[in-house]
Amino acid sequence: MLRFIVRRVLLMIPTLFIISALVYFIIDLPPGDCVTAQVDELLSRGDADALARADELRTLYGLDQPLWRRYFEWVGGIFRWDFGLSCQDTVPVSDLIGERMALTLIMESCTIAFIWIVSFVIGVYAATHQYKMGDYIASFIGFVGLSIPNFLLALVLLYVGKVYFGLSIGGLMDPEYIDKPFSWGKLVSVAEHLIIPVIVIGMSGTAGMIRRLRANLLDELQKQYVVTGRAKGLPPMKLLIKYPLRHAINPFVADIGGLLPDVISGSVIVSVVLSLPTTGPMLLGALKTQDVNLAATFLLFVAVLTVIGMLISDLALAALDPRIRFGATSEK
């Protein structure tokens, strides 16, 4: 197992390096740069010195240097937690991402926990109660979750909350806690505001997981060894947990790594719709204005979380069932 972990961790380093390079160069590919938009704005206001200031700004942001040099300076800065300057407010990226990154991590962690818990319970129930009312309801939830885009669900909930219940669903905390230090009241406020975003963002992931778990468990429950165990009088719960469930959750565990980038990318538009102070809206803005340092930093964090998620999922998969499956081959 140690060799496997070492191989994977070692592979992570060039993987992240390549991802960071690709992201940095691709964001910079379109014509123009982050100063172009600022200059256009200044010109539209009638600022005669706009073009002269453009050169100053380009020097300030390092845009007068070749792309490869900017990239290596950015990569070198990562070790010092210095991701360069953001073009949006001319402040260091590390100052911009602090609380937003923390709120994003809290929201995404809650969403993933929601997806696992809800889909596990409903998926197992649906498989063990096939063609009963509960199974039909679970299937309905699955189809609804898969077919409705997250942002549309967010819009519907915003409308319903405002018009029928007089509630303001947007934001991730009550206005009095914004930009205030951490407190118990702020935590409670964040927890209350998390419920709707977590359900909205987690809906499609939950639906997909329910359907996968149900299908896998149904396959296992129809196998001979389960029928034999049932015929020999094994208690139903013991029979379910001991083998079929362990086999059925293999793909469930394997999906952990893929879930994280899905949830993060799925939450961007929802965060914009629900006015959530997470990284989503800021990333969207950074991509639109070609704020390379800010956008590349966000995307690098997503890549780091993804490769760590993949490693955890592979380790969990290896530890889940220490038996060889017939037909499988072990390496020498």
Judged by the rule CB under 8 A, the positions of this chain that interact with other proteins are 1-7, 9-10, 13, 76, 78-81, 250-251, 254, 314-315, 317-319, 321-332
In the complex, minimum distance from the CB of residue 243 to other proteins, in angstroms, rounded to a whole number: 9
Distance in angstroms (rounded) separating the CA atoms of residues 307 and 15: 9
> Cβ closer to other proteins: 3 or 45?
3
> Cβ closer to other proteins: 75 or 218?
75
Residues 6+ apart with CB under 8 A from 69: none
> Cβ closer to other proteins: 171 or 251?
251
> Cβ closer to other proteins: 184 or 326?
326
In the complex, minimum distance from the CB of residue 261 to other proteins, in angstroms, rounded to a whole number: 18
Which of these, 20, 31, 34, lies nearest to 287 by C-alpha position? Answer: 34
- 3-state DSSP call for residue 294? helix
> Cβ closer to other proteins: 251 or 285?
251
Eight-class DSSP state of 135? H
Angle, CA of 51, 68 and 92, to the nearest 5°: 60
Distance in angstroms (rounded) separating the CA atoms of residues 277 and 197: 12
Distance in angstroms (rounded) separating the CA atoms of residues 197 and 266: 11
In the complex, minimum distance from the CB of residue 44 to other proteins, in angstroms, rounded to a whole number: 40
In the complex, minimum distance from the CB of residue 27 to other proteins, in angstroms, rounded to a whole number: 23
In the complex, minimum distance from the CB of residue 297 to other proteins, in angstroms, rounded to a whole number: 14
> Cβ closer to other proteins: 79 or 164?
79
Which of these, 211, 38, 92, 224, lies nearest to 141 by C-alpha position? Answer: 211
End-to-end CA distance of the chain: 14
In the complex, minimum distance from the CB of residue 89 to other proteins, in angstroms, rounded to a whole number: 22
